[in-house]
């Protein structure tokens, strides 16, 4: 990878500009082109020379924003400007999805729009009120004010060379909307006459992400070269005003700085979206908010062509470094998981050896381990034998007080406190026991705290709620004095895996105990604004058939139903199958990004905001919780392997295409020399195909 990085460049001599020194990045400016003004607004635009960058202040087109009766903005033009004079003749080169998307708004604002594309889009153009040309000569003869390049990154150079520039006005404004900026800037500077104006822009949205409007989305631009004449300055401002008028957040930023930020925000977002697409993720009955945001990310990212994503990689010099960092973060997380797994297995083997040795010497000395006998050999005195417990049945004088439960929470960390708060608010009596002293927190919440497990059992709780970590649950349960409880006590867990606690309870609890396995699929962070519509999954593993025990189970579930939770009855096995896809994948992506150290940028896209929020939510949980999702869900290892395959396949796809580009650039069209690199590309394609076939097989 390192040697490849040293050779990296796009397939053109113009790409070498990406590696040249440029002026130091400036802080981005957020320009309000719609600010009210009684005369002329001012806006600073850089004017490029061969050695320095200067800033020119010019008079903008006069606009004043007033309000219509319905509260919507109304643009009032200066009397010196005619309505026609405020409109532009814009020629769009490349009339694909983005070109048509922009044209629709241009036409709605009254601008004259022309279009040329190598594919015939005349029907679409006519429906939008756009004049379509089948060749660039006819379009250029119309002398547009602005040439807007909406071509793909890969085809831009070829298209630019094909334009009959001599047929355009001498000071035509050229604007590009590519997702990489240093490449397009150098391309335009090299190919256009020096008297042509240049704006490099990036609308950081598209037909999918901005289908409901452009308000609040980023429009990044650099005025690379604008003539000093007032007419040229005004033309530049009119073009920018199109986006400001729609509510875009106008960000003035040089091309170098844009590409540095975009490698993180845009390339990483698209990379993860492409990886997740390969997993064929689907909505489940128990989606978490984080998982739904990932599904939305996949939908948005895959609506763009692979060529666009490939262009982000090849034509942004920072992208390869980000890919390497992402790979390192993913490998580090895998090592962390598998390293802990190996340690657990080693300790388990050592304990088994010690147990066998102990059993051997006990038998040799004539002793016998009582645990070796069946459960019928051991007599345990349960509290029921002395003081049987009876519920009040539903009758005419059933009241709210009789519906309240006495709930003993075992484990009073963040999640136990989170649940206790709501239970107390609903009027239930809450007790808690935890190995750590949480007495002060318990008092603040109105909870009775016990430092001894025996004492909480002596309070005769109706429900024992395990809010322990996945890793500690077994040891806590084994030490818990269940013999001091009524035999019919209801045991509930809230672990993020379900088959493990189900089997644990069935193995260690009395056959007379009731068992309810649950998973509130939210926590203190995702449920801080309420539990409405959040999924609560439950499996009534073993509930007695008498009315009192069924009623007690119903009352416990009703705690969550009253708060608006979406109650999902589901077997533990089915839960774990769905959770391995939704919850484990979500946490894995969040943990990888946490290791990557992502930060907010001045030009965040919506998908990147989603990833930042995901990191915040998953990082709020302990690593033990995440490790538990991996260790105690039999489906998690398969999902980790599938994610690894998807990433590996995507890397091979990118690097295979890059190898092809480099080969053609280095060896040109020489047939003899091309045979070697093409065979290498074939090997890359075969490797990628093998990975994809493996992944497809696992999907099926």
**pLDDT (average), residues 658-669:** 64
Q: Give the pLDDT confidence score for residue 208 in this predicted structure.
A: 84
**pLDDT (average), residues 306-328:** 93
The four Cα atoms 279, 280, 285, 286 give a dihedral, to 10 degrees, of 20
Contact present, 42 and 60 (Cβ < 8 Å): yes
- DSSP of 239-275: HHHHHHHTT-EEEE--HHHHHHHHIIIIIHHHHHHHH
Distance CA 463, CA 455 (A): 15
Distance CA 548, CA 490 (A): 11
Q: Give the pLDDT confidence score for residue 691 in this predicted structure.
A: 52
Strand duo 490-493 + 218-225: pairing: unpaired
Residue listed under structure tokens 């070269």: 225
Residues of the chain with CATH 3.40.50.720: 28-253, 404-570
Task: Considering only CA atoms, give the Rg of the chain.
Answer: 33
Token reading at 559:
């705690």
Q: Give the pLDDT confidence score for residue 27 in this predicted structure.
A: 52
Task: Looking at the structure, give the CATH architecture of the domain made up of residues 28-253.
Answer: 3-Layer(aba) Sandwich (3.40)
Q: Give the pLDDT confidence score for residue 374 in this predicted structure.
A: 36
Distance CA 215, CA 34 (A): 13
Task: Output 137-140 pairs: Cβ under 8 A, ≥24 positions apart.
Answer: 137/164, 137/167, 139/91, 139/93, 139/114, 139/115, 140/91, 140/164, 140/165, 140/167, 140/168
**pLDDT (average), residues 110-123:** 96
**pLDDT (average), residues 228-247:** 97
Kindly report the CA angle at 216 between 214 and 222, in degrees rounded to 5? 85
Distance CA 359, CA 333 (A): 39
Kindly report the CA angle at 290 between 286 and 296, in degrees rounded to 5? 95
Contact present, 654 and 324 (Cβ < 8 Å): no
Q: Give the pLDDT confidence score for residue 128 in this predicted structure.
A: 98
**pLDDT (average), residues 19-32:** 45
pLDDT digits (tens, 9 = 90+) for 182-194: 999 999 999 999 9
Which one-letter DSSP state was computed for residue 592?
H
- DSSP of 500-520: HHHHHHHHHS-TTSEEEEEEE
Strand duo 463-466 + 490-493: pairing: parallel
Q: How many Cα atoms sit within 13 Å of 73 on the Cβ side? A: 14
Kindly report whether the global pTM for this prediction surpasses the value 0.85: no
For residue 493, give the 3-state DSSP assignment: strand
Q: Which H helix or E strand runs over 218?
A: strand 218-225
- Check pLDDT > 70 for residue 1: no
Q: Give the pLDDT confidence score for residue 614 in this predicted structure.
A: 92
**pLDDT (average), residues 610-621:** 88
pLDDT digits (tens, 9 = 90+) for 364-397: 454 444 333 333 333 333 444 333 333 333 333 4
Distance CA 624, CA 632 (A): 11
Q: How many Cα atoms sit within 13 Å of 504 on the Cβ side? A: 22
pLDDT digits (tens, 9 = 90+) for 429-483: 999 999 999 999 999 999 999 999 999 999 999 999 999 999 999 999 999 999 9
Determine phi and psi for 50, rounding to 5 degrees.
Answer: -70, -20
Q: Give the pLDDT confidence score for residue 695 in this predicted structure.
A: 57
End-to-end, the C-alpha distance of the chain in Å comes to 32
| Overall size of the chain counted in residues | 700
Q: Give the pLDDT confidence score for residue 590 in this predicted structure.
A: 94
CA-closest candidate to residue 221, choices 237, 203, 238: 203
Q: Give the pLDDT confidence score for residue 349 in this predicted structure.
A: 60
Distance CA 285, CA 305 (A): 30
Distance CA 426, CA 123 (A): 63
Q: Give the pLDDT confidence score for residue 18 in this predicted structure.
A: 39
Q: Which H helix or E strand runs over 63?
A: strand 63-67
- DSSP of 64-107: EEEE-TTS-EEEEE-TTS-TGGG--EEEEE--SHHHHHHHHHHH
Band of pLDDT at residue 363, cut at 50, 70 and 90: low
- DSSP of 419-457: HHHHHHHTT-EEEEE-SS--HHHHHHHT-EEESSHHHHH
**pLDDT (average), residues 666-673:** 51
The set of residues, in sequence order, having a beta carbon less than 8 Å from that of 111 and lying 6+ positions away, is 87, 88, 89, 90, 242
Determine phi and psi for 692, rounding to 5 degrees.
Answer: -65, -40
**pLDDT (average), residues 319-342:** 91
The four Cα atoms 467, 472, 478, 479 give a dihedral, to 10 degrees, of -80
Token reading at 246:
């729609």
- Check pLDDT > 60 for residue 669: no
- Check pLDDT > 90 for residue 221: yes
pLDDT digits (tens, 9 = 90+) for 57-76: 333 333 333 333 333 333 33
- What CATH number labels 404-570? 3.40.50.720
Contact present, 605 and 205 (Cβ < 8 Å): yes
Band of pLDDT at residue 250, cut at 50, 70 and 90: very high
Token reading at 554:
């119903």
**pLDDT (average), residues 391-411:** 67
Kindly report the CA angle at 301 between 300 and 305, in degrees rounded to 5? 120
Count CB-CB contacts under 10 A for residue 267.
24
Distance CA 289, CA 246 (A): 30
- Check pLDDT > 50 for residue 47: no
Determine phi and psi for 484, rounding to 5 degrees.
Answer: -90, -5
pLDDT digits (tens, 9 = 90+) for 264-306: 999 999 999 999 999 999 999 999 889 999 999 999 888 888 8
The set of residues, in sequence order, having a beta carbon less than 8 Å from that of 374 and lying 6+ positions away, is none
pLDDT digits (tens, 9 = 90+) for 562-573: 999 999 999 999
For residue 232, give the 3-state DSSP assignment: helix
Token reading at 210:
């901005």
Widest pairwise Cα distance in the chain:
111
């Amino acid at each position: 990878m390192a040697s490849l990085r040293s050779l990296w460049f796009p397939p053109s001599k113009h790409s070498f500009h990406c590696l040249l020194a440029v002026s130091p990045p400036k802080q981005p400016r957020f320009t309000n082109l719609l600010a009210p003004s009684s005369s002329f607004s001012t806006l600073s635009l850089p004017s490029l020379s061969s050695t320095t960058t200067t800033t020119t202040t010019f008079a903008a087109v006069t606009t004043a924003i007033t309000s219509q009766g319905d509260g919507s903005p109304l643009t009032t033009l200066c009397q010196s400007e005619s309505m026609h004079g405020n409109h532009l003749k814009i020629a769009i080169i490349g009339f694909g999805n983005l070109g048509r998307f922009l044209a629709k708004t241009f036409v709605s604002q009254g601008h004259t729009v022309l279009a040329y594309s190598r594919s015939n889009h005349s029907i679409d153009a006519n429906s939008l009120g756009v004049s379509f040309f089948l060749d660039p000569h006819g379009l250029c003869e119309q002398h547009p004010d602005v040439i807007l390049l909406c071509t793909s990154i890969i085809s831009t150079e070829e298209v630019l060379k094909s334009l009959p520039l001599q047929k355009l006005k001498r000071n035509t404004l050229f604007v590009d909307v590519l997702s990489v900026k240093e490449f397009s800037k150098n391309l335009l500077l090299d190919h256009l006459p020096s008297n042509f104006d240049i704006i490099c822009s990036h609308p950081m949205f598209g037909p999918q992400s901005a289908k409901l409007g452009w308000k609040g989305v980023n429009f990044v631009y650099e005025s690379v070269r604008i003539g000093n004449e007032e007419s040229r300055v005004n033309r530049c401002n009119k073009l920018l005003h199109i986006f400001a008028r729609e509510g875009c957040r106008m960000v003035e930023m040089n091309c170098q700085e844009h590409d540095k930020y975009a490698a993180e925000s845009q390339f990483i977002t698209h990379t993860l979206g492409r990886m997740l697409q390969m997993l064929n993720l689907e909505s489940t009955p128990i989606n978490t908010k984080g998982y739904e945001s990932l599904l939305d990310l996949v939908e948005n990212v895959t609506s763009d062509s692979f060529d666009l994503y490939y262009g982000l990689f090849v034509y942004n010099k920072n992208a390869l470094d980000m890919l390497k960092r992402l790979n390192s973060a993913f490998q580090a997380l895998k090592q962390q998981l598998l390293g802990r797994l190996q340690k657990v297995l080693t300790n388990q083997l050592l304990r088994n050896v010690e147990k066998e040795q102990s059993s051997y010497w006990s038998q040799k000395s004539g002793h016998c381990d009582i645990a070796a006998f069946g459960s019928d050999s051991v007599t345990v005195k349960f509290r029921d034998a002395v003081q049987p417990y009876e519920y009040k049945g539903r009758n005419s004088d059933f009241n709210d007080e009789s519906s309240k439960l006495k709930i003993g929470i075992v484990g009073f960390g963040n999640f136990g406190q989170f649940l206790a708060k709501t239970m107390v608010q609903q009027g239930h009596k809450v007790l808690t026991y935890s190995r750590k002293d949480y007495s002060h927190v318990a008092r603040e919440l109105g909870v009775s705290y016990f430092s001894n497990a025996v004492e909480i059992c002596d309070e005769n709780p109706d429900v024992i709620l395990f809010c322990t970590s996945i890793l500690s649950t077994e040891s806590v349960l084994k030490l818990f004095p269940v013999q001091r409880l009524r035999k019919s006590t209801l045991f509930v867990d809230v672990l993020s895996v379900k088959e493990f606690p189900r089997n644990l309870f069935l193995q260690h609890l009395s056959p007379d105990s009731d068992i309810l396995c649950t998973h509130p699929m939210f926590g203190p962070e995702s449920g801080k604004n309420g539990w409405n519509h959040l999924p609560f999954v439950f499996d009534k593993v073993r509930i007695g058939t008498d009315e009192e025990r069924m009623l007690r189970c119903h009352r416990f579930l009703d705690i969550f139903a009253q708060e608006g939770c979406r109650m999902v009855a589901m077997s533990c096995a089915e839960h774990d199958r769905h959770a391995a896809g939704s919850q484990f994948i979500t946490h894995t992506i969040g943990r990888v990004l946490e290791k990557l150290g992502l930060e907010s940028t001045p030009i965040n896209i919506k998908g990147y905001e989603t990833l930042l929020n995901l990191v915040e939510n998953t990082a709020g949980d302990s690593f033990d919780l995440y490790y538990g999702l991996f260790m105690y869900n039999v489906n998690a290892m398969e999902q980790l392997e599938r994610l690894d395959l998807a990433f590996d396949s995507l890397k091979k796809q990118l690097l295979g295409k890059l190898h092809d580009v480099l080969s053609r650039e280095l060896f040109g069209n020489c047939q003899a020399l091309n045979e070697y690199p093409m065979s290498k590309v074939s090997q890359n394609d075969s490797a990628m195909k093998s990975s994809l076939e493996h992944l497809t097989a696992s999907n099926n």
